[in-house]
Structure 1
Amino acid sequence: MSNIPNLSNSELILNPDGSIYHLNLKPGEIASTIITVGDPDRVEHVTKYFDTIEVSMHRREFKTQTGTYKGKRLTVISTGIGTDNIDIVFNELDALANIDFTTRVVKSQFQQLDFIRIGTSGAIQPEIKIDSFLASEIAIGFDNLLHFYGNVDFLDSQFSEAFMEFSNWNPHKSTPYVVKADEDLLKKFISEEKIIPGITATNVGFYGPQGRILRLQTQDAMLNDKLQSFELNHRKITNLEMETSGIYGLSKLLGHRAVSLNAILANRATGDFSKNPDTTVDKLIKKTLDLLLQ
């Protein structure tokens, strides 16, 4: 990454106290290992296991706490729902680590961050059990975020082109993009036998984009069936959620590492939903914290 001198006030927006605009955080207030959750209330479901908390900030949907778990410094932050929020959170977290707020230039020494998403998800393959855990090995994004950035040679065009052809993709929709998790970080979690690898579809909404019909009809009533039946290199799409593709894409663009962990609370193929969703998420939280110590 090349240095861009004198980032203007309209590009690097700081609050009067010197904190970054949306997150309201200052440099030094985040750890190099960051857990992301969607719901602000879930932040304290993670940090209740911490030994200490040194930073606590809540602005809009972005709640942040930094502290230690068994001696390891960690930050937990809520992103809200969707990759539009991921764009804000990841760019601002990177700025906190890699831009000098006083001189407004990119630092010469790069600090790499590790991102671990702890989220909920719905499976689309009938054999994936409710209350199981899944690590997203690959994400296919329907959200358009990565198309606004350059230098995306890491995207798997073969996968996206095969899916568009198979699904007879509507040209009025965004071209899907496909991006992988960080391999080393992924291995840390899929080495745990109770966390299975999968291919995650990141949707741009919760209802129509995920094939849910309340009072509105969808453009493609067969979309979920197409997602379920698509196969490439003997691999199938396993689950649906709303952030992973943006997390993986921006992490790669910025030089960071990321993995997305999913608590499977619903199975769209069978119509089932977890009877104990809070317990399932809590188990994934505790498992994630302990694996981060290894």
Structure 2
Amino acid sequence: MSTKPTFTDADFPLDGEGRTYHIGIKRGEVANRVLTCGDVQRVRVLEKFLDKKLCEVCSERGFLTVTGLIDGVPVTLLASLMGYPNMDFAVRETLAMVDGTMVCVRFGTCGTPSTECNIGDLALATECRGIYRNPDAFRKRPEGAPEPTTEERYHITLPVPADPALFNHMKEVLLKQFPDHLKVGCNFSGCTFYASQGRPGVHFEDHNEDLLDRIAAMPSATAIEMETFHLFDLADLSKGRLKAAGSALIIAKRATKDFVTPEKKAKLVDEYGKAILHALATFPIPEDQLMKDPACVWLK
């Protein structure tokens, strides 16, 4: 006899327990304050900073959700995995399980196009732009037609800002602890890791040779990664229910190709992660916008 759950409603599938199709969560397992990471192991590292762990859900697709308390405040750690589609699953399915306001802060890793940022700095996004590879620009063109420009092949979107109140709160808290290493500026999120972030490849005709220069020439370009833009984009479309901010540990200098050591990365994930978690826990949410369902694990 099959033990696989049965899902209903193809538009937003839920199983018989009310669990979502991809993340595997149900009402009461996600708090109003969410810290999202692309890496499951980073969630495992950060969960040690919870005063009390209340529940854990690991879905068949590898999404990990851990909810616990920090100074009595419910906080959820979510491994959203990598890329726009996974961020879409993570944000849409968690918001659907939360009443009121959801505050979501991303703590990721990134490269930097900037000569003013260094490996080990923490990039906090004032705003974010997406970088989308246009497949149509790579198709064969009629004879005599001009070759597509880089702008046609790789579209860089208009900027989407972080939530102002959340950004200012995060900046204030993090500046006190890391005054020499907090870098504030624009995040760029590629739809892929290789082509749309300007990484040259010998096996494909990516035609992205000047993409990194385009990004570096834009005002306040501090970070390049793969998820934050979609988080900000969804927040902008959420009818005011989702407040978003984005931070990322700089692990690579794109111009020089330098990369962080594993030891330094582990140390900084600890230091920055603990600070970001406590900043998230202290961000004020009005009482009438907090989840108070009896199913909430922090109310039992």
- The TM tier, using the shorter chain, reads 0.7 to 0.9
Provide the C-alpha distance between the structure 2 equivalents of 1:51 and 1:15, rounded to a whole number of angstroms: 31
Provide the C-alpha distance between the structure 2 equivalents of 1:42 and 1:196, rounded to a whole number of angstroms: 21
Q: 165, 168, 193: which one pairs with 1:187?
A: 168
Q: What value does the CA root-mean-square deviation take over the aligned residues?
A: 1.9
| Corresponding position of 1:120 | 109
Shift of 1:293: 4.1
Structure 2 contact 34–102 (Cα < 8 Å) conserved: yes
Name the SS for the 2:235 alignment partner.
helix
The amino acid of 2:152's aligned partner reads P
Check if 1:239 corresponds to 2:236: no
Provide the C-alpha distance between the structure 2 equivalents of 1:138 and 1:40, rounded to a whole number of angstroms: 25
Structure 2 contact 150–210 (Cα < 8 Å) conserved: no
| Corresponding position of 2:159 | 178
| Corresponding position of 1:17 | 17
The amino acid of 1:67's aligned partner reads G
| Corresponding position of 1:57 | 57
| Corresponding position of 1:225 | 213
The amino acid of 1:136's aligned partner reads A
| Corresponding position of 1:153 | none
Alignment CA distance shift 1:28-1:143 (3 Å): farther
Name the SS for the 1:97 alignment partner.
coil
Alignment of 1:1-294 (within 5 A): 9-59=9-59, 60-98=61-99, 111-143=100-132, 169-174=150-155, 176-191=157-172, 192-193=174-175, 194=178, 195-216=182-203, 217-230=205-218, 235-254=219-238, 255=240, 256-275=242-261, 276-294=264-282
More deviation, 127-136/271-280:
271-280
Provide the C-alpha distance between the structure 2 equivalents of 1:251 and 1:124, rounded to a whole number of angstroms: 26
Name the SS for the 1:119 alignment partner.
strand
Shift of 1:62: 0.8
Name the SS for the 1:44 alignment partner.
helix
Q: Share of identical aligned residues, percent?
A: 27
Name the SS for the 1:285 alignment partner.
helix
Provide the C-alpha distance between the structure 2 equivalents of 1:270 and 1:126, rounded to a whole number of angstroms: 9
Provide the C-alpha distance between the structure 2 equivalents of 1:278 and 1:125, rounded to a whole number of angstroms: 23
Shift of 1:131: 0.3
Name the SS for the 1:137 alignment partner.
strand
Alignment CA distance shift 1:222-1:169 (3 Å): closer
Structure 1 contact 190–196 (Cα < 8 Å) conserved: no
Structure 2 contact 111–251 (Cα < 8 Å) conserved: yes
Provide the C-alpha distance between the structure 2 equivalents of 1:124 and 1:184, rounded to a whole number of angstroms: 27
Provide the C-alpha distance between the structure 2 equivalents of 1:206 and 1:280, rounded to a whole number of angstroms: 23
String of CA shifts for 1:136-160, please: whole Å, max 9, x gaps.
111001248xxxxxxxxxxxxxxxx
Structure 2 contact 103–243 (Cα < 8 Å) conserved: yes
TM-score normalised by length of structure 2: 0.78
**Stretches of 4+ moved more than 6 A in 1?**
none
Gaps of 5+ in 2: 1-7, 134-148, 283-300
Structure 2 contact 113–222 (Cα < 8 Å) conserved: yes
Name the SS for the 1:213 alignment partner.
coil
Structure 1 contact 126–270 (Cα < 8 Å) conserved: no
Name the SS for the 2:95 alignment partner.
helix
String of CA shifts for 1:66-124, please: whole Å, max 9, x gaps.
011222210011111001111111111111125xxxxxxxxxxxx11000101001111
Provide the C-alpha distance between the structure 2 equivalents of 1:253 and 1:126, rounded to a whole number of angstroms: 33
Provide the C-alpha distance between the structure 2 equivalents of 1:82 and 1:177, rounded to a whole number of angstroms: 19
Aligned length: 249
More deviation, 193-202/212-221:
212-221
Structure 1 contact 86–247 (Cα < 8 Å) conserved: yes
